[in-house]
Structure 1
Amino acid sequence: MLLVASGVTKTYRTGDEAVRVLDGVDLTLAAGESLALTGESGSGKSTLLHLVAGLDSPDTGRLVVDGTDMARATDAQRAALRRDGVGLVFQQFNLIPSLDIAANLAFQARLAGRYDAAWASELAQILGLEALLQRYPEQLSGGQQQRVAIGRALAARPRLVLADEPTGNLDETTGDAVMALLLRLVAQTGAGLLMVTHSPRLAARLDRRVHLSAGRLQLEPVA
Protein backbone atom coordinates (compact mmCIF):
# COMPACT_ATOMS: atom_id res chain seq x y z
CA MET A 1 0.00 0.00 0.00
CA LEU A 2 1.26 3.45 -0.89
CA LEU A 3 -1.03 5.14 1.62
CA VAL A 4 -2.49 3.87 4.88
CA ALA A 5 -4.48 6.22 7.12
CA SER A 6 -6.08 4.97 10.32
CA GLY A 7 -7.98 7.10 12.82
CA VAL A 8 -6.46 10.35 11.52
CA THR A 9 -7.69 13.52 13.21
CA LYS A 10 -6.91 17.19 12.65
CA THR A 11 -8.22 20.14 14.63
CA TYR A 12 -7.70 23.85 13.96
CA ARG A 13 -8.34 26.73 16.31
CA THR A 14 -10.37 29.75 15.26
CA GLY A 15 -10.07 32.22 18.10
CA ASP A 16 -11.24 30.35 21.20
CA GLU A 17 -13.08 27.71 19.16
CA ALA A 18 -11.56 24.34 18.22
CA VAL A 19 -12.81 23.00 14.89
CA ARG A 20 -12.18 19.32 14.20
CA VAL A 21 -11.79 19.11 10.44
CA LEU A 22 -10.87 15.42 10.28
CA ASP A 23 -12.42 13.01 12.76
CA GLY A 24 -11.02 9.49 12.56
CA VAL A 25 -10.25 9.15 8.85
CA ASP A 26 -9.43 5.65 7.55
CA LEU A 27 -8.09 5.34 4.00
CA THR A 28 -5.88 3.12 1.85
CA LEU A 29 -4.45 3.54 -1.64
CA ALA A 30 -2.49 0.94 -3.59
CA ALA A 31 0.06 1.38 -6.37
CA GLY A 32 -1.62 1.74 -9.75
CA GLU A 33 -4.93 2.74 -8.17
CA SER A 34 -6.81 6.02 -8.60
CA LEU A 35 -9.03 7.41 -5.84
CA ALA A 36 -11.27 10.49 -5.91
CA LEU A 37 -11.89 12.47 -2.73
CA THR A 38 -15.13 14.44 -2.83
CA GLY A 39 -16.99 16.58 -0.32
CA GLU A 40 -18.55 19.97 0.25
CA SER A 41 -16.43 23.10 0.27
CA GLY A 42 -14.66 23.37 3.62
CA SER A 43 -15.16 19.69 4.42
CA GLY A 44 -11.44 19.07 4.89
CA LYS A 45 -10.49 17.60 1.51
CA SER A 46 -7.49 19.84 1.02
CA THR A 47 -6.51 19.37 4.68
CA LEU A 48 -6.31 15.61 4.18
CA LEU A 49 -4.32 16.05 0.98
CA HIS A 50 -1.90 18.36 2.80
CA LEU A 51 -1.42 15.78 5.54
CA VAL A 52 -0.64 13.08 2.97
CA ALA A 53 1.80 15.45 1.26
CA GLY A 54 3.54 16.17 4.55
CA LEU A 55 2.65 19.85 4.43
CA ASP A 56 1.01 19.47 7.85
CA SER A 57 0.91 16.82 10.59
CA PRO A 58 -2.07 14.84 11.95
CA ASP A 59 -3.01 15.41 15.58
CA THR A 60 -3.68 11.72 16.24
CA GLY A 61 -3.91 8.50 14.28
CA ARG A 62 -1.60 6.66 11.93
CA LEU A 63 -0.65 8.01 8.51
CA VAL A 64 1.95 6.13 6.49
CA VAL A 65 2.87 7.37 3.01
CA ASP A 66 5.17 5.19 0.92
CA GLY A 67 6.69 3.75 4.09
CA THR A 68 7.08 7.09 5.90
CA ASP A 69 5.16 7.57 9.17
CA MET A 70 3.98 11.15 8.71
CA ALA A 71 3.07 11.60 12.39
CA ARG A 72 6.66 10.91 13.44
CA ALA A 73 8.60 12.20 10.44
CA THR A 74 10.85 15.22 10.73
CA ASP A 75 10.43 18.23 8.47
CA ALA A 76 13.46 17.03 6.50
CA GLN A 77 11.94 13.57 6.03
CA ARG A 78 8.66 15.04 4.82
CA ALA A 79 10.49 17.31 2.39
CA ALA A 80 12.47 14.32 1.08
CA LEU A 81 9.24 12.39 0.52
CA ARG A 82 7.73 15.28 -1.47
CA ARG A 83 10.91 15.59 -3.48
CA ASP A 84 11.50 11.91 -4.19
CA GLY A 85 8.22 10.01 -3.96
CA VAL A 86 5.25 12.36 -4.39
CA GLY A 87 4.11 14.38 -7.38
CA LEU A 88 1.90 17.37 -6.58
CA VAL A 89 -0.53 18.93 -9.04
CA PHE A 90 -1.99 22.22 -7.85
CA GLN A 91 -5.07 24.07 -9.04
CA GLN A 92 -2.97 27.20 -9.46
CA PHE A 93 -0.26 25.50 -11.58
CA ASN A 94 2.65 27.05 -9.59
CA LEU A 95 4.98 27.10 -12.59
CA ILE A 96 8.22 29.07 -12.29
CA PRO A 97 7.80 32.16 -14.50
CA SER A 98 11.55 32.71 -15.04
CA LEU A 99 12.03 29.20 -16.48
CA ASP A 100 10.95 28.08 -19.92
CA ILE A 101 8.60 25.12 -20.30
CA ALA A 102 11.40 22.58 -20.80
CA ALA A 103 13.03 23.69 -17.53
CA ASN A 104 9.68 23.72 -15.70
CA LEU A 105 9.00 20.16 -16.83
CA ALA A 106 12.43 19.02 -15.62
CA PHE A 107 12.44 20.95 -12.34
CA GLN A 108 11.05 18.30 -9.97
CA ALA A 109 13.00 15.46 -11.59
CA ARG A 110 16.26 17.37 -11.29
CA LEU A 111 15.57 18.09 -7.61
CA ALA A 112 15.02 14.38 -7.06
CA GLY A 113 18.18 13.50 -8.99
CA ARG A 114 16.14 11.40 -11.45
CA TYR A 115 16.04 13.53 -14.58
CA ASP A 116 15.68 11.33 -17.64
CA ALA A 117 15.89 13.20 -20.94
CA ALA A 118 14.15 10.40 -22.87
CA TRP A 119 11.26 10.29 -20.37
CA ALA A 120 10.98 14.10 -20.40
CA SER A 121 10.80 14.04 -24.19
CA GLU A 122 8.14 11.32 -24.10
CA LEU A 123 6.09 13.31 -21.58
CA ALA A 124 6.30 16.44 -23.73
CA GLN A 125 5.10 14.44 -26.73
CA ILE A 126 2.20 12.79 -24.87
CA LEU A 127 1.16 16.11 -23.37
CA GLY A 128 1.32 17.96 -26.69
CA LEU A 129 4.01 20.35 -25.46
CA GLU A 130 6.81 19.65 -27.96
CA ALA A 131 6.31 22.91 -29.84
CA LEU A 132 6.09 24.94 -26.61
CA LEU A 133 9.27 23.93 -24.80
CA GLN A 134 11.08 27.21 -25.45
CA ARG A 135 8.18 29.38 -24.35
CA TYR A 136 7.51 30.73 -20.86
CA PRO A 137 4.45 30.09 -18.67
CA GLU A 138 2.90 33.51 -19.36
CA GLN A 139 2.86 32.65 -23.08
CA LEU A 140 0.69 29.57 -22.55
CA SER A 141 -3.05 29.10 -22.09
CA GLY A 142 -4.47 27.79 -18.83
CA GLY A 143 -4.91 24.31 -20.24
CA GLN A 144 -1.36 24.25 -21.56
CA GLN A 145 0.02 25.39 -18.21
CA GLN A 146 -1.91 22.66 -16.41
CA ARG A 147 -0.46 20.07 -18.78
CA VAL A 148 3.01 21.39 -17.89
CA ALA A 149 2.16 21.08 -14.19
CA ILE A 150 1.07 17.47 -14.71
CA GLY A 151 4.22 16.70 -16.68
CA ARG A 152 6.40 18.25 -13.98
CA ALA A 153 4.69 16.13 -11.31
CA LEU A 154 5.28 12.93 -13.29
CA ALA A 155 8.75 13.66 -14.65
CA ALA A 156 10.45 12.21 -11.56
CA ARG A 157 8.30 9.06 -11.81
CA PRO A 158 6.71 9.53 -8.36
CA ARG A 159 5.06 6.57 -6.69
CA LEU A 160 2.16 8.75 -5.54
CA VAL A 161 0.43 11.64 -7.35
CA LEU A 162 -1.67 14.09 -5.32
CA ALA A 163 -3.94 16.40 -7.30
CA ASP A 164 -6.01 19.17 -5.72
CA GLU A 165 -8.83 20.19 -8.10
CA PRO A 166 -6.45 19.85 -11.09
CA THR A 167 -9.12 20.94 -13.57
CA GLY A 168 -10.81 23.55 -11.38
CA ASN A 169 -9.64 26.53 -13.45
CA LEU A 170 -10.33 24.94 -16.82
CA ASP A 171 -13.37 24.82 -19.07
CA GLU A 172 -15.11 21.45 -19.29
CA THR A 173 -13.59 20.41 -22.62
CA THR A 174 -10.04 21.29 -21.58
CA GLY A 175 -10.60 19.79 -18.15
CA ASP A 176 -11.73 16.49 -19.63
CA ALA A 177 -8.67 16.38 -21.88
CA VAL A 178 -6.31 17.12 -18.98
CA MET A 179 -8.05 14.50 -16.82
CA ALA A 180 -7.67 11.88 -19.54
CA LEU A 181 -3.97 12.69 -19.86
CA LEU A 182 -3.45 12.51 -16.11
CA LEU A 183 -5.12 9.09 -15.84
CA ARG A 184 -3.23 7.81 -18.85
CA LEU A 185 0.13 8.91 -17.53
CA VAL A 186 -0.54 7.58 -14.03
CA ALA A 187 -1.50 4.23 -15.56
CA GLN A 188 1.69 4.19 -17.63
CA THR A 189 3.93 4.88 -14.65
CA GLY A 190 2.09 2.61 -12.18
CA ALA A 191 1.73 5.42 -9.65
CA GLY A 192 -1.16 5.81 -7.23
CA LEU A 193 -3.43 8.83 -7.68
CA LEU A 194 -5.37 10.66 -4.95
CA MET A 195 -7.41 13.48 -6.46
CA VAL A 196 -9.55 16.06 -4.70
CA THR A 197 -12.50 17.12 -6.83
CA HIS A 198 -15.92 18.69 -6.38
CA SER A 199 -17.13 17.10 -9.62
CA PRO A 200 -19.03 13.79 -9.34
CA ARG A 201 -18.60 13.40 -13.11
CA LEU A 202 -14.81 13.50 -12.89
CA ALA A 203 -14.77 11.42 -9.70
CA ALA A 204 -16.63 8.64 -11.50
CA ARG A 205 -13.71 8.27 -13.92
CA LEU A 206 -11.40 7.04 -11.16
CA ASP A 207 -11.20 3.50 -9.76
CA ARG A 208 -12.76 4.42 -6.42
CA ARG A 209 -14.22 7.44 -4.73
CA VAL A 210 -14.78 8.45 -1.13
CA HIS A 211 -16.83 11.31 0.25
CA LEU A 212 -15.70 13.44 3.17
CA SER A 213 -18.51 14.64 5.43
CA ALA A 214 -18.38 15.87 9.03
CA GLY A 215 -14.73 14.89 9.17
CA ARG A 216 -15.33 11.26 8.23
CA LEU A 217 -14.97 9.36 4.98
CA GLN A 218 -17.83 7.47 3.38
CA LEU A 219 -17.23 4.93 0.63
CA GLU A 220 -19.09 5.52 -2.62
CA PRO A 221 -19.49 2.87 -5.32
CA VAL A 222 -18.42 3.92 -8.80
CA ALA A 223 -21.09 3.22 -11.42
Structure 2
Amino acid sequence: MLISLSNIAKSYTTPEGQVEVLKDIDLSVTSGQSVALTGESGSGKSTLLHLAGGLDRPDRGRILMNDRDITALDELGRAEYRRTEVGLIFQQFNLIPSLDVAANVAFHAKLAGRFDAAWQRELIGQLGLDALTHRYPEQLSGGQQQRVAIARTLAATPPLVLADEPTGNLDESTGDAVLDLMLSLSRTAGCALLLVTHSMRLADKLDRKVLLRNGKIVA
Protein backbone atom coordinates (compact mmCIF):
# COMPACT_ATOMS: atom_id res chain seq x y z
CA MET A 1 0.00 0.00 0.00
CA LEU A 2 1.45 3.36 -1.04
CA ILE A 3 -1.06 5.82 0.43
CA SER A 4 -4.03 5.17 2.68
CA LEU A 5 -6.66 7.69 3.79
CA SER A 6 -8.73 6.56 6.79
CA ASN A 7 -11.88 8.14 8.27
CA ILE A 8 -11.11 11.48 6.61
CA ALA A 9 -13.40 14.45 7.22
CA LYS A 10 -12.99 18.06 6.11
CA SER A 11 -15.18 21.14 6.59
CA TYR A 12 -14.84 24.78 5.54
CA THR A 13 -16.36 27.92 7.01
CA THR A 14 -18.53 29.93 4.62
CA PRO A 15 -20.72 33.01 5.15
CA GLU A 16 -23.62 30.57 5.44
CA GLY A 17 -21.83 28.52 8.12
CA GLN A 18 -19.83 25.27 8.21
CA VAL A 19 -19.90 23.14 5.07
CA GLU A 20 -18.80 19.53 5.42
CA VAL A 21 -16.96 18.74 2.18
CA LEU A 22 -15.68 15.24 3.00
CA LYS A 23 -17.26 12.70 5.36
CA ASP A 24 -15.67 9.46 6.59
CA ILE A 25 -13.50 8.88 3.54
CA ASP A 26 -11.52 5.63 3.28
CA LEU A 27 -9.32 5.22 0.22
CA SER A 28 -6.10 3.36 -0.56
CA VAL A 29 -3.84 3.41 -3.60
CA THR A 30 -1.12 0.86 -4.26
CA SER A 31 2.24 1.54 -5.92
CA GLY A 32 1.93 1.92 -9.67
CA GLN A 33 -1.87 1.96 -9.62
CA SER A 34 -3.99 4.56 -11.43
CA VAL A 35 -7.23 5.68 -9.76
CA ALA A 36 -9.84 8.09 -11.14
CA LEU A 37 -11.76 10.29 -8.69
CA THR A 38 -15.13 11.05 -10.28
CA GLY A 39 -18.27 12.89 -9.23
CA GLU A 40 -20.19 16.10 -9.75
CA SER A 41 -18.74 19.55 -9.04
CA GLY A 42 -18.69 20.14 -5.30
CA SER A 43 -18.54 16.44 -4.41
CA GLY A 44 -15.14 16.87 -2.72
CA LYS A 45 -12.76 15.51 -5.37
CA SER A 46 -10.29 18.40 -5.39
CA THR A 47 -10.38 18.70 -1.60
CA LEU A 48 -9.47 15.03 -1.31
CA LEU A 49 -6.60 15.53 -3.74
CA HIS A 50 -5.30 18.53 -1.74
CA LEU A 51 -5.35 16.51 1.48
CA ALA A 52 -3.48 13.60 -0.14
CA GLY A 53 -0.89 16.09 -1.39
CA GLY A 54 -0.31 17.66 2.02
CA LEU A 55 -1.65 21.01 0.82
CA ASP A 56 -4.19 20.99 3.65
CA ARG A 57 -4.97 19.01 6.79
CA PRO A 58 -8.14 16.99 7.45
CA ASP A 59 -10.31 17.81 10.43
CA ARG A 60 -10.36 14.14 11.34
CA GLY A 61 -8.67 10.95 10.20
CA ARG A 62 -5.20 9.85 9.13
CA ILE A 63 -3.30 9.79 5.85
CA LEU A 64 -0.44 7.29 5.73
CA MET A 65 2.15 7.49 2.95
CA ASN A 66 4.47 4.49 3.04
CA ASP A 67 3.29 3.99 6.65
CA ARG A 68 4.23 7.56 7.63
CA ASP A 69 1.41 9.71 9.04
CA ILE A 70 1.53 12.90 6.97
CA THR A 71 -1.34 14.42 8.94
CA ALA A 72 1.05 14.66 11.89
CA LEU A 73 3.62 16.69 9.95
CA ASP A 74 4.15 20.41 10.53
CA GLU A 75 4.27 22.85 7.61
CA LEU A 76 7.98 22.23 6.95
CA GLY A 77 7.39 18.49 7.02
CA ARG A 78 4.49 18.77 4.57
CA ALA A 79 6.62 20.94 2.26
CA GLU A 80 9.33 18.26 2.30
CA TYR A 81 6.67 15.62 1.60
CA ARG A 82 5.41 17.57 -1.43
CA ARG A 83 8.96 18.07 -2.68
CA THR A 84 10.07 14.45 -2.45
CA GLU A 85 7.06 12.11 -2.50
CA VAL A 86 4.26 13.63 -4.57
CA GLY A 87 3.91 15.32 -7.93
CA LEU A 88 1.08 17.80 -8.47
CA ILE A 89 -0.56 18.62 -11.80
CA PHE A 90 -3.21 21.33 -11.69
CA GLN A 91 -5.01 23.27 -14.41
CA GLN A 92 -3.17 26.47 -13.38
CA PHE A 93 0.15 24.91 -14.58
CA ASN A 94 2.22 27.01 -12.09
CA LEU A 95 5.20 27.19 -14.43
CA ILE A 96 8.03 29.54 -13.42
CA PRO A 97 7.92 32.54 -15.81
CA SER A 98 11.67 33.24 -15.62
CA LEU A 99 12.66 29.68 -16.65
CA ASP A 100 12.52 28.21 -20.14
CA VAL A 101 10.80 24.88 -20.85
CA ALA A 102 13.88 22.74 -20.23
CA ALA A 103 14.56 24.42 -16.88
CA ASN A 104 10.90 24.22 -15.84
CA VAL A 105 10.82 20.48 -16.59
CA ALA A 106 14.02 19.93 -14.57
CA PHE A 107 13.00 22.11 -11.63
CA HIS A 108 11.10 19.65 -9.42
CA ALA A 109 13.46 16.75 -10.21
CA LYS A 110 16.45 18.81 -9.09
CA LEU A 111 14.68 19.89 -5.89
CA ALA A 112 13.90 16.25 -5.13
CA GLY A 113 17.48 15.17 -5.91
CA ARG A 114 16.27 12.85 -8.69
CA PHE A 115 17.27 14.68 -11.88
CA ASP A 116 17.94 12.28 -14.76
CA ALA A 117 18.93 13.97 -18.03
CA ALA A 118 18.09 10.90 -20.15
CA TRP A 119 14.61 10.57 -18.60
CA GLN A 120 14.01 14.31 -19.12
CA ARG A 121 14.96 14.00 -22.80
CA GLU A 122 12.56 11.07 -23.19
CA LEU A 123 9.71 12.99 -21.56
CA ILE A 124 10.33 16.08 -23.68
CA GLY A 125 10.38 13.99 -26.83
CA GLN A 126 7.33 11.88 -25.99
CA LEU A 127 5.30 14.98 -25.07
CA GLY A 128 6.26 16.79 -28.29
CA LEU A 129 8.24 19.55 -26.59
CA ASP A 130 11.55 19.15 -28.48
CA ALA A 131 11.19 22.37 -30.44
CA LEU A 132 10.05 24.36 -27.40
CA THR A 133 12.83 23.77 -24.86
CA HIS A 134 14.21 27.33 -25.10
CA ARG A 135 10.83 29.07 -25.00
CA TYR A 136 9.39 30.67 -21.89
CA PRO A 137 5.89 29.99 -20.51
CA GLU A 138 4.46 33.23 -21.93
CA GLN A 139 5.49 32.03 -25.41
CA LEU A 140 3.48 28.81 -25.13
CA SER A 141 -0.15 27.95 -25.76
CA GLY A 142 -2.29 26.60 -22.94
CA GLY A 143 -1.95 23.06 -24.27
CA GLN A 144 1.82 23.37 -24.51
CA GLN A 145 2.02 24.70 -20.95
CA GLN A 146 -0.06 21.75 -19.77
CA ARG A 147 2.35 19.29 -21.40
CA VAL A 148 5.30 21.08 -19.76
CA ALA A 149 3.54 20.79 -16.38
CA ILE A 150 3.04 17.05 -16.92
CA ALA A 151 6.69 16.60 -17.98
CA ARG A 152 7.90 18.56 -14.92
CA THR A 153 5.93 16.32 -12.56
CA LEU A 154 6.96 13.03 -14.15
CA ALA A 155 10.62 14.12 -14.47
CA ALA A 156 10.96 13.80 -10.69
CA THR A 157 9.54 10.22 -10.74
CA PRO A 158 7.54 10.77 -7.54
CA PRO A 159 5.94 7.71 -5.92
CA LEU A 160 2.53 9.41 -6.25
CA VAL A 161 1.18 11.78 -8.92
CA LEU A 162 -1.92 13.84 -8.07
CA ALA A 163 -3.67 15.37 -11.08
CA ASP A 164 -6.72 17.65 -11.07
CA GLU A 165 -8.41 17.60 -14.51
CA PRO A 166 -4.97 17.43 -16.18
CA THR A 167 -6.40 17.55 -19.71
CA GLY A 168 -9.14 20.06 -18.95
CA ASN A 169 -7.56 22.75 -21.14
CA LEU A 170 -7.19 20.49 -24.17
CA ASP A 171 -9.64 19.49 -26.89
CA GLU A 172 -11.02 15.95 -26.66
CA SER A 173 -8.69 14.20 -29.08
CA THR A 174 -5.57 15.95 -27.76
CA GLY A 175 -6.70 15.33 -24.19
CA ASP A 176 -7.14 11.61 -24.88
CA ALA A 177 -3.69 11.39 -26.44
CA VAL A 178 -2.03 13.30 -23.58
CA LEU A 179 -3.77 11.18 -20.92
CA ASP A 180 -2.76 7.96 -22.69
CA LEU A 181 0.81 9.21 -22.82
CA MET A 182 0.72 10.35 -19.19
CA LEU A 183 -0.52 6.91 -18.11
CA SER A 184 2.19 5.20 -20.16
CA LEU A 185 4.95 7.46 -18.84
CA SER A 186 3.79 7.20 -15.22
CA ARG A 187 3.82 3.40 -15.52
CA THR A 188 7.34 3.58 -16.97
CA ALA A 189 8.39 5.74 -14.01
CA GLY A 190 6.59 3.46 -11.52
CA CYS A 191 4.35 6.30 -10.27
CA ALA A 192 0.90 5.74 -8.78
CA LEU A 193 -1.69 8.18 -10.17
CA LEU A 194 -4.70 9.69 -8.42
CA LEU A 195 -6.60 11.74 -10.99
CA VAL A 196 -9.68 13.94 -10.71
CA THR A 197 -11.92 13.97 -13.77
CA HIS A 198 -15.53 14.74 -14.65
CA SER A 199 -15.29 12.45 -17.68
CA MET A 200 -16.27 8.82 -17.26
CA ARG A 201 -14.78 8.19 -20.68
CA LEU A 202 -11.36 9.30 -19.41
CA ALA A 203 -11.89 7.56 -16.06
CA ASP A 204 -12.38 4.27 -17.89
CA LYS A 205 -8.74 4.44 -19.03
CA LEU A 206 -7.48 4.09 -15.43
CA ASP A 207 -7.17 0.96 -13.31
CA ARG A 208 -9.91 1.95 -10.84
CA LYS A 209 -12.78 4.42 -10.58
CA VAL A 210 -13.94 5.98 -7.30
CA LEU A 211 -17.21 7.93 -7.25
CA LEU A 212 -17.77 10.72 -4.72
CA ARG A 213 -21.21 12.11 -3.98
CA ASN A 214 -21.92 14.74 -1.32
CA GLY A 215 -18.52 14.19 0.26
CA LYS A 216 -18.75 10.40 0.52
CA ILE A 217 -17.39 7.55 -1.56
CA VAL A 218 -20.41 5.72 -2.94
CA ALA A 219 -18.71 3.42 -5.47
TM over 0.5: yes
Show the counterpart of 2:165.
165
1:66 touches 1:85 (CA, 8 Å); kept in 2?
A: no
Q: For 1:66 and 1:136, how far apart are their aligned partners in 2?
A: 36
Give me the CA root mean square deviation: 1.1
Q: For 2:24 and 2:180, how far apart are their aligned partners in 1?
A: 32
2:9 touches 2:25 (CA, 8 Å); kept in 1?
A: yes
Q: For 1:68 and 1:169, how far apart are their aligned partners in 2?
A: 35
Show the counterpart of 1:70.
70
Q: For 1:27 and 1:68, how far apart are their aligned partners in 2?
A: 16
Larger displacement relative to structure 2 (159-168 or 71-80): 71-80
Letter in 1 for 2:5: A
Q: For 1:68 and 1:125, how far apart are their aligned partners in 2?
A: 36
1:97 touches 1:137 (CA, 8 Å); kept in 2?
A: yes
Please show how residues 107-122 of structure 1 align to structure 2 within 5 Å: 107-122=107-122
Please show how residues 180-219 of structure 1 align to structure 2 within 5 Å: 180-219=180-219
Please state how far the C-alpha of 1:112 moved relative to its aligned partner. Answer: 1.1
* Structure 2: tracts of 5 or more residues without a match: none
> Between Structure 1 and Structure 2, how many residues are aligned?
219
Q: For 1:214 and 1:70, how far apart are their aligned partners in 2?
A: 25
2:22 touches 2:44 (CA, 8 Å); kept in 1?
A: yes
Q: For 1:22 and 1:105, how far apart are their aligned partners in 2?
A: 33
Q: For 1:52 and 1:37, how far apart are their aligned partners in 2?
A: 12
Secondary structure of the corresponding residue to residue 98 of structure 1: coil
Show the counterpart of 1:4.
4
Per-residue CA shift, 1:43-80, capped at 9, x if unaligned? 11110000001010011112112333122111111111
Secondary structure of the corresponding residue to residue 46 of structure 1: helix
Please state how far the C-alpha of 1:138 moved relative to its aligned partner. Answer: 2.0
Please state how far the C-alpha of 1:102 moved relative to its aligned partner. Answer: 0.3
1:11 touches 1:20 (CA, 8 Å); kept in 2?
A: yes
Q: For 1:166 and 1:158, how far apart are their aligned partners in 2?
A: 17
Secondary structure of the corresponding residue to residue 62 of structure 2: strand
Larger displacement relative to structure 2 (135-144 or 172-181): 135-144
Please state how far the C-alpha of 1:141 moved relative to its aligned partner. Answer: 2.2
Q: For 1:17 and 1:138, how far apart are their aligned partners in 2?
A: 40
1:11 touches 1:21 (CA, 8 Å); kept in 2?
A: yes
* Structure 1: tracts of 5 or more residues without a match: none
Q: For 1:80 and 1:206, how far apart are their aligned partners in 2?
A: 28
1:143 touches 1:175 (CA, 8 Å); kept in 2?
A: no
Q: For 1:78 and 1:7, how far apart are their aligned partners in 2?
A: 20
1:146 touches 1:178 (CA, 8 Å); kept in 2?
A: no
Please show how residues 1-223 of structure 1 align to structure 2 within 5 Å: 1-15=1-15, 17-219=17-219
Identity of aligned residues (%): 61
Letter in 2 for 1:103: A
Per-residue CA shift, 1:107-137, capped at 9, x if unaligned? 1011112212121112111212112111112
Q: For 1:141 and 1:134, how far apart are their aligned partners in 2?
A: 14
Please give the TM-score of this superposition, normalised by the length of structure 1. 0.95
